[in-house]
Amino acid sequence: MKPAVRISIAAAILIAAVVALIAGLPRWLATPDVTFGGRPVEAWVAELKSGNPGASNTAVAMTTNVIVPQLLDTVHRETHDRRLKLMLVEALDSLPGIHVDFVPADGRRALALEDLAKLGPAGESATPELVRLLDENDERLIGHAATALAAVRCKPAIAVPALLHALLRPDGHGRPEAVDALAEYGTNARVAIPQLLNLLDDYGSKEIRVAVPRALKAIDPERFAKLPGR
């Protein structure tokens, strides 16, 4: 075989290998779907609410023993991505016709907390860790943790102080998610009224301007009705 032919064949093989690598990388780098026993969290939530005793009992056991621990493990463990992986994702996304279905670490942690919230009261065992997240004031997760804490129906005696601690951002503005979570506790969150009243003048975000009056109305409707302009 002539040298030129061998070179052409080698070049063709190399090009084919590079094309195959580029084609396969997006699938390899993509964030996998989160499942529990081969099923998404929504399927287990449906069984929890099904009214079928057998299915509900199975779902409760799966939630307690697998789903909650796995979601909390994601929150604790998925704290960063390897720099090389991020560079590859960015490089591939810049190519025409290629998209990597990749969720960065902070997004994966936030999604885990959202899944915890979907569990409702069945996720109550996550309460201590959710309270800890509120205490840490991690801006990347605190809003999701506040929402999840109310969703799992944490007891007011535990939830309300934790949410009050998380109510304000370091810059002094309110966190809408903490306000909304307090509203879920109704009259049991009356201790939050003074801070919520202070937030009536917080123009840091549209969400706060909507959330605070709604929370005050849920917590103390009579007092809310007497506020100027209400």
Confidence of residue 118 (pLDDT cuts 50, 70, 90): very high
Q: What tokens does 210 get?
A: 């909507």
Q: Which pLDDT value is given to residue 180?
A: 96
- Rounded to whole angstroms, how far apart are CA atoms 99 and 213? 42
Q: Which pLDDT value is given to residue 147?
A: 96
| Closest to 126 (Cα-Cα) out of 185, 184, 166, 67 | 67
**What is the average pLDDT across 49-62?**
89
**What is the average pLDDT across 73-81?**
93
Q: Is the per-residue pLDDT at 47 higher than 80?
A: yes
Per-residue pLDDT tens digits for 150-162: 999 999 999 999 9
**What is the average pLDDT across 208-216?**
92
User: Which residues are 143's β-sheet partners?
Assistant: none
Per-residue pLDDT tens digits for 85-115: 888 888 878 888 778 889 999 999 999 999 9
Confidence of residue 2 (pLDDT cuts 50, 70, 90): low
Q: Is the per-residue pLDDT at 23 higher than 70?
A: no
User: Which residues are 36's β-sheet partners?
Assistant: 39
4 against 135, higher pLDDT? 135
16-30, 67-81, 211-225, range with the lowest pLDDT: 16-30
Q: Which pLDDT value is given to residue 18?
A: 52
Cβ(116)–Cβ(68) below 8 Å:
yes
Residue 128's SS3 state is helix
First to last CA, the chain: 90
HEC per residue, 13-45 = HHHHHHHHHHHHHHHHHCCCCCCECCECHHHHH
Contacts of 142 (CB under 8 A, 6+ apart): 133, 134, 136, 166, 175, 177, 178
Contacts of 148 (CB under 8 A, 6+ apart): 113, 114, 116, 117, 123, 126, 130
| Closest to 189 (Cα-Cα) out of 145, 157, 212, 213 | 157
The DSSP string of 55-111 is HHHHHHHHIIIIIHHHHHHHHHH-----HHHHHHHHHHHTSTT-------HHHHHHH
